[in-house]
Amino acid sequence: MNIIYVGIYESGSTSRMRGEILAALNPNSNFCVIDTSIPFESETRLLRSITFRYKWGPLIGKINRYVLSEIAKLNQNNIDLIWVDKAVYLAESTTKTLRSKTSKLVHYTPDPAFTFHQSRYFKASLPYYDYAITTKAYELEFFQRYLKPERVIYATQGFDKRLHRPQTPLKSKKNGLLFIGHKEREREIVLQTLIDNQISVSIAGIKWEAFIKKNKSNPHLIYLGKGIYGADYAKTLSSYQFSWGSLSKWIPELHTTRTFEIPACGTALITERNSETQLFFTEDEAIFYDNLDEIVEKIRYYQKNTSELEFLTQKGLTRVNTDGRDYESIIKNILDRIMSKE
């Protein structure tokens, strides 16, 4: 089997993680990577920023020329599968070339491709794919405007079981809540409420500087920096009793990677009660809330009742593994589906 993976392949990226799992699931295959981060990272920070924000500029052409050059070097026409990850920069002409090289052209994105990350290149290219995979249930109708419904696959977000696993016994965990993510106004309100109620909160992420400065005299707030990644992310996540799986209000998302990464690391997930999170967990597998008072009340309750917290945490960990929320299981199910179809 000949497989080509087209996408960002930087160390520590989730797209590389998907590529590595795809390769591991096909150990006897000829697996090749076309790393789109190579031309992207070769340019200045300003040009990268313009390209990322506006999907415009000379870097777009450079990325497409690179992909076409790399596919030509491979000199293969009997490619069984080309998996393209987040093709926001690939032009229609490039996608048509990929289409001509394989019997299965598949696109995957964990991002909101229509409601946030708008790309005219992606929209023009989408009809050439055999399958499009999205983790956003609310965007299915948009994908189905370009492809037949049976060619659009919904998959949940997931976790990497090679990385996201319990590393700290409950009795050794820090007695507080961890939040990793960028600042949003709604998130600021929640975290301010927690520290004002003397609940210890640790934050890592971008754009929190003003919030940290405002609360510099509050002993219940700890700032861990602009980001924690890879093995350090999993280790840090595992060291806390609670972690907040915040859902962004910029888009109508109902779950994120944190929804599964947190319990996979053996930490109690705190999350909004909605149709998707309640489908994934029961009330004794995750800590649900509808309002700020409920978050404060439940954290205080479980801090006093650690045996119940341990029970909930273990059940959450078991649930994500039993349900196959890890990326290896998710990608295997996708491959089984798309490769069985002619």
Stretch 262-270: mean pLDDT, rounded? 98
Domain boundaries, the chain: 2-157+326-339, 170-322
Query: CB neighbours of 103 closer than 8 A, spacing ≥ 6?
Result: 79, 80, 81
Confidence band of 190 (pLDDT split at 50, 70, 90): very high
CA distances from residue 33 to 14, 99, 254, 292 in whole angstroms, order as listed:
15, 16, 32, 46
User: Is 2-157+326-339's fold the same as 170-322's?
Assistant: yes
HSE-CB of 12 using CA atoms within 13 angstroms:
8
| pLDDT at residue 298, as a whole number | 98
Q: Is the dihedral of CA 20, 22, 28, 32 positive or negative?
A: negative
Q: Which CATH number fits domain 170-322: 3.10.129.10, 3.30.9.10, 3.40.50.2000, 1.10.150.120?
A: 3.40.50.2000
Quick one: DSSP state of residue 170? G
Could you tell me the fold of the domain covering 2-157+326-339?
A: Rossmann fold (3.40.50)
pLDDT tens for 61-92 read 999 999 999 999 987 778 999 999 999 999 99
pLDDT tens for 91-110 read 999 999 999 999 999 999 99
